[in-house]
Structure 1
């Protein structure tokens, strides 16, 4: 498990990349466009887990001035077999990942965030870290998204394109964007857009945008210690209390507690237990 950063001036943005000789499970921290060779492009956001089989080739496009920033886990082939036996629906009978991405629920995102913080602590517990990583892998790979079910190729492509366009708008749209306005921008009906988006992403439109804001807040807690009011306003929340309420609803703990390094291990153990 590790962290990956690619600055915006890196040559990797201008060439085809190779993931390596092991499968990877990747948790984006900021939006970046990822396209596996011979697959459709995906806006990788903190709301998704990105999946790569061994030797996967892909390209990336800049969507944030910070470049690319993510957490990743490398898997052995034997690990895929064991995860499949445990019920990981995103692994097929040949022990390959069957999708390029899947929704990341709140527990999965929080677990990887806490685990990487624990590993960066002065004295991490290797047994706790390894057991938690196994739990994280299963959490990320357990459920096959509804968008993976069989549909006609033209319908599937159209729905994927609509959802990706909506994700792009939501990742940069003002806080008061309405459904009707978003539907007009994307040349769709509001009902069709809302239905397709939920099937393709696992989120409602409002839920997707709010979850993006909350996960961005989680990653920025350390840089806003003692000044959560400013962070709340920067993220589009009306006040410190509004942000704290939504944050607790999402992660089950207050921003101040989660931002305190003294609580990381206890929170990690509690989250891993489910």
Structure 2
């Protein structure tokens, strides 16, 4: 996907699974350049799930913020540019499902008309269950726990959930309102562990606190505070294998206590952090 020679050191891709049904890759970018890249082109139609960091994909006059609450759709042979407004780089799980299976799963409303397979939207917001499936699929493949049949099944379950009308949200707003929401996302991503106040966020984006809450709810379909919680919990899904002390993890992510973190995690994903780690890493 990122094929400029000057970005070779910036970009890495690891194959986790390649079967007759689905190809899964773990994709990393250091994100050293904040400005827009030269034009890039996806070689295959893929669903890309960011699980760490943030970047912006620019497609003609449209832009989409790639972060852990979203899935981005990359269409084969479609040119785009990438920028990194927040330092720290990014990482994503990329799924390429074979065309017959993808056409069978995807509702007509998700795909463009025509013979060539292509998605209509740049991105849609995913729910907590989809976030958990992304993490479970990635961790179990990296740890070589999941066998191919299980991984294929998890991947297709994830795609079915993402392309289901009841579990995703496509943003709809004017360009001005979408850009305001994007700036809020940059602020939140700059320091996930910080306990932001509404006034502080509004000051950063130069907007009214009342207007900000109204616009964010309209564009993303979630209150701002819940969106931030989803970002923190998704980061926890990524970091769980690296922490033996879950209290330290909860405090690093801005939760007031381990019990607060554990309750929020269970409410979102249906199991405690310890139970999730056990299922993903220790079968």
Q: Shorter chain as normaliser: what TM range?
A: 0.7 to 0.9
Distance 1:116-1:165 versus aligned 2 partners, 3 A rule: same
Residues 100-179 of structure 1 correspond to what in structure 2 (within 5 A)? 100-122=122-144, 124-143=146-165, 145-148=169-172, 156-172=174-190, 175-179=194-198
Task: Determine the C-alpha separation between the residues in 2 that align with 1:2 and 1:117.
Answer: 12
Give the superposition deviation at 1:133: 1.5
The structure that is helix-richer by fraction is: 1
Task: Determine the C-alpha separation between the residues in 1 that align with 2:140 and 2:270.
Answer: 19
Give the superposition deviation at 1:242: 1.4
Residue 15 in 1 paired to residue 38 in 2? yes
Deviations 1:154-202 (A, max 9, x none): x611111111111112223564322244334434333332232123223
The structure that is strand-richer by fraction is: 2
Residues 24-43 of structure 1 correspond to what in structure 2 (within 5 A)? 24-43=46-65
Structure 1: runs of 5+ lacking an equivalent: 149-154, 268-274
Distance 1:14-1:189 versus aligned 2 partners, 3 A rule: closer
TM-score by length of 1: 0.82
Give the superposition deviation at 1:140: 1.3
Q: Which residue of 2 aligns with 1:202?
A: 221
Q: Which residue of 1 aligns with 2:243?
A: 224
RMSD: 2.7
Contact 1:32 1:60 in 2 (8 A): no
Deviations 1:35-91 (A, max 9, x none): 23303333211111111111122222235554221101013332332123xx36422
Deviations 1:132-160 (A, max 9, x none): 21221121122363534xxxxxx611111
Structure 2: runs of 5+ lacking an equivalent: 1-23
Contact 2:85 2:186 in 1 (8 A): no
Q: Which residue of 2 aligns with 1:79?
A: 101
Distance 1:27-1:245 versus aligned 2 partners, 3 A rule: same
